[in-house]
Amino acid sequence: MHHMARKPLTADNAADACTAIRMECLAFAARRTANLISRAYAARLAPFGLEPSQFGVLIVVATGEADSARELADRLGIERSTLTRNLTRLLDAGLLVGVPGKGRRITYRLTATGRARLAEALPAWQEAQNAMQAQLRPGVADAARSSLEELRGAALELINAG
């Protein structure tokens, strides 16, 4: 692994150190990139009344891979509070319904309206996906997905290490 030795922050070196951190920080780079990508997809999904985060919830619910809100949040890689906000909006819009699951779990399912909205929005998502990939050199999208998967794994290791 590559580690850069860094002098302690002082008033004399704070600006240079912060510039270096801004350029090197994986979290900062990931957040900046994710925000820009989300804005590009948001423009295409907006006519269907969906934000990219809500579209993601609908996609994961449609796959049936999550039997609880916790599993849904884990699949999406988001905090429970963010999921709760998106679930509330999707439930209020009649796109999802919560049904009793195992124990105290609530499992979310698409309503008929939710399935129809997702079907309407899928071509817009595909358009955004195609437009984004058209901006990249061949192989970059696959390499980015692979790198992001590796970064997620490293972040999970760091989180689980306490």
SS (H, E, C) 79-140: CHHHHHHHHHHHHHCCCEEEEECCCCCEEEEECHHHHHHHHHHHHHHHHHHHHHHHCCCCCH
CA torsion 58-63-64-65 (nearest 10°) is -100
CA torsion 102-57-83-43 (nearest 10°) is -170
Q: Which residues contact 76 (CB under 8 A, 6 or more apart)?
A: 53, 56, 57, 60, 83
pLDDT at 1 over 60: no
In tens, the pLDDT along 119-130 reads: 999 999 999 999
pLDDT at 69 over 60: yes
Q: Which of 101, 34, 33 is nearest to 61 (CA)?
A: 101
pLDDT at 4 over 70: no
Measured distance CA(32)–CA(119) in Å, rounded: 29
- Position 10 scores a pLDDT of 76
pTM (2 d.p.): 0.85
Measured distance CA(44)–CA(123) in Å, rounded: 9
